[in-house]
């Protein structure tokens, strides 16, 4: 056995020091909550940059019809293969097609923005929404209605044509 003291061999002293430092920070922070960098989410929310591109939106025309013409360019451009569209004939003969189903699997999406870039009619956009939570995998499959609702809820400045 070396000549180290009992105090340095017992490990109790360093544990005590560590606990004391932790307690000091705890009590300091408790009485100086305003100095903490923590955001009290969801009561408090961080302001994101207007350039932030988050959850997808399907935009609509002035008459409320979806702008998407089911051309599949976004689904083709998507590197994560997470856009699934079922095209159907539109009842209006002036409109060739519309998406009967338009689903995005948000668990596969990498938020690259390629879908937005590929769309020739500005029908899909990355909006300012960023809250992506759910209890079930199915909660992360955003349907056409979810995507239109995302636009109504978050983008009052979506341009309607
Ligand atoms: S942001 Fe990228 S990964 Fe996500 S749906 Fe669009 S193209 Fe696909
Ligand atoms: S969102 Fe745009 S790119 Fe995608 S299918 Fe509709 S019209 Fe085509």
- State the pLDDT confidence band at 124, using cuts at 50, 70 and 90: very high
Asked whether the beta carbons of 83 and 75 are under 8 A apart, the reply is yes
CA distance 38 to 57: 29
Residues touching ligand 2 (Cβ under 6 Å) are 68-74, 85, 118-119, 121, 123-124
Ligand 1 binding pocket includes 55 (Cβ within 6 Å): no
Please tell me the distance between residue 55's alpha carbon and the centre of ligand 2 in angstroms: 16
pLDDT in tens, 130-152: 989 999 999 999 999 999 998 88
pLDDT in tens, 39-90: 888 898 888 898 999 999 999 998 889 999 999 999 999 999 999 999 999 9
Question: Which domains can be identified in the chain, with CATH numbers?
Answer: 56-154 (3.30.70.3270)
Residue of higher predicted confidence among 9 and 100: 100
Ligand 1 binding pocket includes 83 (Cβ within 6 Å): yes
CA distance 61 to 27: 56
């Amino acid at each position: 056995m070396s000549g180290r003291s009992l105090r340095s061999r017992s490990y109790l002293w360093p544990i005590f020091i560590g606990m004391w430092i932790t307690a000091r920070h705890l009590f300091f922070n408790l009485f100086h909550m305003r100095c903490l960098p923590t955001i009290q989410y969801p009561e408090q929310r961080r302001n994101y940059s207007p350039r932030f591109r988050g959850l997808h939106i399907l935009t609509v025309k002035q008459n409320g019809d979806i702008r998407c013409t089911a051309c599949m360019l976004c689904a083709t451009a998507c590197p994560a293969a997470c856009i699934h569209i079922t095209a159907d004939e539109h009842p209006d003969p002036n409109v060739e097609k519309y998406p009967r189903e338009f689903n995005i699997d948000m668990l596969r999406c990498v938020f690259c923005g390629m879908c937005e870039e590929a769309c020739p009619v500005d029908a899909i956009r990355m909006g300012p929404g960023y809250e992506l939570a759910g209890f079930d995998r199915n909660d992360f499959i955003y349907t056409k209605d979810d995507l239109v609702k995302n636009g109504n809820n978050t983008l009052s400045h979506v341009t309607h044509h």
